[in-house]
Amino acid sequence: MEEYKIELIVNNEKISAITKAEESLLKFLRRNGFTEVKCGCEKGDCGTCTVIMNGKTIKSCITLAMQANGKEILTAKGLEKIEIGRRLQESFVKYGAVQCGFCTAGMLMAAKSYIDKDLEPDKTEIRKAISGNLCRCTGYKKIVEAIYDVAVKSHGLEGDTNV
Amino acid sequence: MSKFKVVGKPIPRHDAWAKVRGELTYADDFSLPGMLYAKVFRSKYPAAKLVSVNTSKAKLLKGVKAVLTACDVPHNETVTKFGQSTNIKGGFEGLYRVLAVEGKKIRFTGEPIALVAAETETIAEKACELIEAKYEELPGVFDPEEAMKPNAYLVGERDSNIVNEFGCHNGDVEKGFGESEVIVEDRFEIPFIDHSYLEPEAGISWLDDYGTINIRVSSQVIEHFRDVAEVLNIPHNKVRYIGTMMGGAFGGKEDITVEAFIALLTSKTKKPVRLVYTREESLMAHSKKHAFIEKYKIGAKKNGKIVALEAYYIGNAGAYTYLTPWVGLYATVSATGPYKIPNVKIKTQMVLTNNVFASAYRGFGSNQANIGYESIIDELARKLNMNPLEIRRINCMHTGDALSTTKQVIKTYVALPEAMEKAWAGLEEPTISKRKDIKIGRGIAMGLMSYGRMTFLHDSSRCYVKLENDGSLVVRSGIPDLGGGQASLLSQIAANELGVPMKKVKVYNTDSMLTPLAGTTTATRQTYMSGNAALKAAREVRNRILNKAAEVLNVNPDKLDIVSEKIIVKYDKSEYLPLTEAIQACNAEGIELYSEAQFNAPFTGIPDLTDMKGMTFPDFAFGAQAVEVAVDIETGQVKVLKIVSCYDVGKALNPASVEGQMEGGSIQGIGYALSEDYALKKGIPQTLSLAEYIIPTAVDSPDVKTIMIESGGGLGPYGAKGIGEPSYNNIVPAILNAIYDATGVRIRRLPATAERIIRGLKKDYFKK
């Protein structure tokens, strides 16, 4: 299988590495040390591998690494460098939105994406926004509350920069 | 001064930050230099004779380092013990086979036949494609009732498919039914379901400098180091388990998953080996929750008083025994629920079939029983034209009453019907439907479930607590953490006893050789068992340092307390000794500021399984759930609008964690009630992805309202009860009863799909 060199920015860091045509972005990221991007199903069903690519959430297991060439990727480890990211992390901890934590890294990405839209905070809309991300432990309530709290505090505020 | 400084507060768990930062290293996130990748070659038939396995082509593939079959496994037929210290016979050993054997039967689709270790995952996959297995297909048996017939196809090598049988008998049911004025009979079918934790099974093994096999794995039971040692036929102390934080488990990581495979491959290649199941593999070949067929007959007086109950359960165990007998026992003990019934006859038979094997799953038999008794009692109420709450009030057990199955007396607080009343009231004003085709209904269910393991297993847990020189605390425990906050809880208890802030406590956990064994994270036992062990250890250290401080301060130790790192004289805040000074004073005299304590559950003998009497569990948790649903009678779609979950948790040591269990348990129950169905067609699984096996998403899930009763009556530390499994009880029958309330359709076969509801509506229509 042919190999290609791709360049992308992950969490503000430039990555230049070899991939194969059939390699998923998920496998590429994990192979390059970004193990915070989780592999729950590799079929796009569970959402644990969600990352933000050029401002949009994608499921990295059904995205080819080649498609990320020249793009900017944000993962859970990059959240700390962003105000909204830090707020979401803190809120998830505070509200007890984290149990086993396996969905958390992907869920935070879906949450960040929702907050970035800067809509009127609404729990039903939050539920829709995270409906592509499964959680088997929490029953979602505390996740929704954690996101809602950040949404209320951030709505209309100047500030956050998209990656 | 409050007794609780840290306990009882919704404290963020110590692991939460690592998880939101993406820093937690789960089992699949860990690599070692020179690591090999493993794959499992599996059977494509559910029932066949394995004629031969030829691995020669696979072995020749470049990059392949080992291909193993059953003849490479020193001890292939194995009996797993699940951490208990006693040897239980009579069908209680969880029998399974590591790899299928040439000349013997294949029992299920996906049964492991050969193992490959290769330099890359792709090479390992290719090697699996090169393995040639010859099968002779056999008819198999897939339906448990068929499997019980005298001339049925035999799943295994034994002369019967029945694994074992359980029973409870009290009074005279025939006489009881004779005296009854109303009798209801029904049959319920409950399917296999899958745990669907988001982290598939994963682990890595390696040899250390002295030839010890190290296994870093996502497991609920690090005591399996002994079972892996037996598979390899090496001494127990030559296998070390390092348990990772799990990405969910729900019982599915209670049995050995990848560990024996990677240990065998490491033993053969002398290299680190990692094995991670794909989602498809996890769905196909790891354990399921037992499917049940339940036949109920219940008789009552016109005033609602239940006179007799007869239940017959058939538990579908799938292909191998694993934990099947214990599930059967749980179901049997729970069969009458929290009701006082004088005449009772319960019989349970657990049966092998050529489906994937069933084993532990949150609720563990009690859950299936709960669906049965809470459905039949609801039917009885309807037949008597009685309020479903009223019939439960009339027949409900109270503190000091005995279970109607084993006659075990419940001496702790029985929060019934209190929990039911509170849950029901929590629904508040009824939702009014704005459309004729949307019917609103409400349902209630209440129940009991044990916390702590069966008492004849002689369960124990150990914990180590140490005050460091700088006043920080070290807790060591073998406790596996499946995401419920099990490890964090121990630090909370230790911090509470020793007056140290949470941030100064560090838990070192889940290492079978370096941390005191705490037993399995199963059976809702860790708060109770390891919580008590941590409390005992922390109090020993506390007593020692207070005795020393009493000398320094020249007061009676009874007058002292430790608050915010100071040893204070109660009621006199001016006088105190900094904790670090007390530590120094102890160190100077060689007073041990550490303790390793063991907590033992009550021990009993093994009951007569077909007529169980007396104590089989340390205690039970009681609770209820109330729901409101909207049913679209045109499409059959059910939407759960409200859930109220009310349990006596004894004492909520970390209310955020307890709520988390209750909310998560309720939503998991929505899946069980409405969508989850691990369907098989003649042993071939039909739902091998999370697009086909449907678990609830955020939009399917209402905000669960939780009501915690804190009776202080539990056997755990500070009066706590376990809540992990109990919180998943009641929700399924509550939803089914609400569907009945909305539509008049009684769901007798789970899940309550739109199709089944429509069929039920049509049937009722034609009846009219």
When scoring A10, A92, A100, A125 by the number of chain B Cβ atoms within 10 A, the one with the most, hence best to mutate, is A100
Q: Torsion-angle region of residue A22: left (phi > 0), alpha (psi -120 to 50) or beta?
A: alpha
Kindly tell me if the per-residue pLDDT of B702 is higher than 60: yes
- CA dist list (Å): B318 to B106, B152, B360, B673: 12, 15, 13, 21
Nearest residue in chain B measured CA to CA from A92: B20
Strand partners, B344: B170, B309
* Mean predicted confidence (pLDDT) in B477-505: 96
Tell me the chain B residues in contact with residue A144 when contact means C-beta distances shorter than 8 Å: 698, 703
Q: Is A96's CB within 8 Å of B659's CB?
A: yes
Partner-chain contact A133 B699, CB within 8 Å: no
A103 touches chain B (CB under 8 A): yes
pLDDT of residue B571: 83
Q: Which residues of A touch B657 (CB under 8 A)?
A: 96
B765 Cα to chain A: minimum distance (Å): 36
Cβ of A134 and B695 within 8 Å? yes
Candidates A76, A136, A143; nearest CB to B198: A136
Contacts of B194 (CB under 8 A, 6+ apart): B252, B283, B288, B289, B676, B678, B687, B693
Measure CB to CB from residue B28 to each of A39, A138, A144 and give the nearest one. A39
Query: Mutation test of the interface with chain A: which of B20, B282, B699, B708, choosing the one with the most A Cβ atoms within 10 A?
Result: B20
Minimum distance, in Å, between the CA of residue B10 and any CA atom of chain A? 8
- Quick check: A108 and B20 CB within 8 A? yes
Contact present, B627 and B738 (Cβ < 8 Å): yes
CB of A60 within 8 Å of a chain B CB? The answer is no
| Residue of A96, A126, A127 lying closest to B660 (CB–CB) | A96
Read off the tokens for A140. Answer: 């979602």
Which residue on chain A is closest to B246 by alpha carbon?
A: A100
Q: Best interface-test mutation with B: which of A80, A127, A137 has the largest number of B CBs within 10 A?
A: A137
pLDDT in tens, chain A (163 residues): 689 999 999 999 999 999 999 999 999 999 999 999 999 999 999 999 999 999 999 999 999 999 999 999 999 999 999 999 999 999 999 999 999 999 999 999 999 999 999 999 999 999 999 999 999 999 999 999 999 999 999 987 654 444 3
CA distances from B572 to B1, B168, B710 (A): 11, 59, 31
Residues of chain A contacting residue B27, judged by C-beta atoms under 8 Å apart: none
Asked if A135's CB is within 8 angstroms of B198's CB, the reply is: yes
pLDDT of residue B95: 83
C-beta atoms of B22 and A75 within 8 A? yes
Rounded to the nearest integer, the mean pLDDT of chain B is 96
Is A76 in CB contact (< 8 Å) with chain B?
Answer: yes
Above 80 in pLDDT, residue B91? Answer: no
- Burial level of A62, CB count in 10 A (0-12/13-18/19+)? middle
Mean pLDDT of the B115-122 span: 97
> Distance (Å) from the C-alpha of residue A128 to the closest C-alpha of chain B?
6
Predicted confidence (pLDDT) per residue in B383-433, tens digit: 999 999 999 999 999 999 999 999 999 999 999 999 999 999 999 999 999
Size of interface A-B (CB pairs under 8 A): 175
pLDDT band, residue B668 (cuts 50/70/90): very high
Are B698 and A140 inside 8 Å of each other by CB?
A: yes
DSSP-assigned letters across all residues of B288-332: EEPEEEEEEEEEE-TTS-EEEEEEEEEEEEESS-TTHHHHHHHHH
In this model, does residue B485 exceed pLDDT 70?
yes
The helix or strand, by DSSP H or E, that contains position B539, with its residue range, turns out to be helix B526-553
Largest CA distance in chain B: 88
The stretch B115-127 carries a mean pLDDT of: 98
Residue B377 tokens read as: 């009692």
CB atoms inside a 10 Å sphere around CB B348: 29
Most B-contacting residue of A32, A102, A144 (CB-CB within 10 A), to test interface: A102
Q: Which residues contact B563 (CB under 8 A, 6 or more apart)?
A: B1, B5, B499
Residue B1 in this model has a pLDDT that exceeds 50: no
Q: Report the pLDDT value the prediction gives residue A2, as an integer from 0 to 100.
A: 86
DSSP string covering B217-269:
E--S-GGGHHHHHHHHTS-GGGEEEEEPPPS--TTTTSS--SHHHHHHHHHHH
CA–CA separation, B521 and B530 (whole Å): 10
Q: State the best of A98, A112, A144 to mutate against chain B, taking most chain B CBs within 10 Å.
A: A98
Chain A residues with CB inside 8 Å of B668's CB? Answer: 136, 139
Chain B residues with CB under 8 Å of A142 CB are 656, 659-660, 663
Identify all chain A residues contacting B672, using CB atoms and an 8 Å cutoff: none
Closest CA to B620 of B390, B358, B414: B414
B125 CB-side CA count, 13 A: 7
* A12 Cα to chain B: minimum distance (Å): 16
Closest-approach residue (CA) in chain B for A141: B703
Contact call for B698 and A98, based on CB within 8 A: no
Query: In which band, very low, low, confident or very high, does the pLDDT at B763 lie, cut at 50, 70 and 90?
Result: confident
Within 26-55 of A, beta carbons closer than 8 Å to B belong to: 30, 35-43, 45-46, 48
Of all residues in chain A, the one with the smallest CA distance to B120 is A31
Quote the pLDDT of residue A160: 46
Q: Any chain B CB within 8 A of the CB of A86?
A: no
Reading the block at residue B520, the tokens are 């399995």
Which residues in chain B touch residue A147, judged by CB atoms under 8 angstroms apart? none
Q: What is the pLDDT of residue B641?
A: 98
Stretch B55-83: mean pLDDT: 90
Of the candidates B10, B247, B699, which has its C-beta nearest A96's C-beta?
Answer: B10
Q: Which chain A residues touch B15 with a CB distance below 8 Å? A: 98, 101
CA-based nearest distance B13→chain A, Å: 8
Chain B CB within 8 Å of residue A93 CB: yes
Cβ of residue A84 closer than 8 Å to a chain B Cβ: no
Q: What are phi and psi of B698, to 5 degrees?
A: -60, -35
pTM, rounded to two decimals: 0.97
What's the pLDDT tens digit per position in B320-366? 999 999 999 999 999 999 999 999 999 999 999 999 999 999 999 99
DSSP per-residue codes, A98-162 = -SS-TTHHHHHHHHHHHHHTTPPP-HHHHHHHTTTS--SSS-SHHHHHHHHHHHHHHTT-S-PPP
pLDDT computed for residue B273 by the predictor: 98
Long-range contacts of B85-89 (CB under 8 A, 24+ apart): B85/B457, B85/B458, B85/B459, B85/B460, B86/B456, B86/B457, B86/B458, B88/B456, B88/B457, B88/B606
Residues forming beta bridges with residue B241, ordered by sequence position:
B215
Q: What is the pLDDT of residue B635?
A: 97
Residues B567-625 have pLDDT tens digits of 999 988 788 999 999 999 999 999 999 999 999 999 999 899 999 999 999 999 999 99
Q: Say whether A102 and B200 touch across the interface (CB within 8 A).
A: no
Cβ neighbours of A73 in B, within 8 Å: none
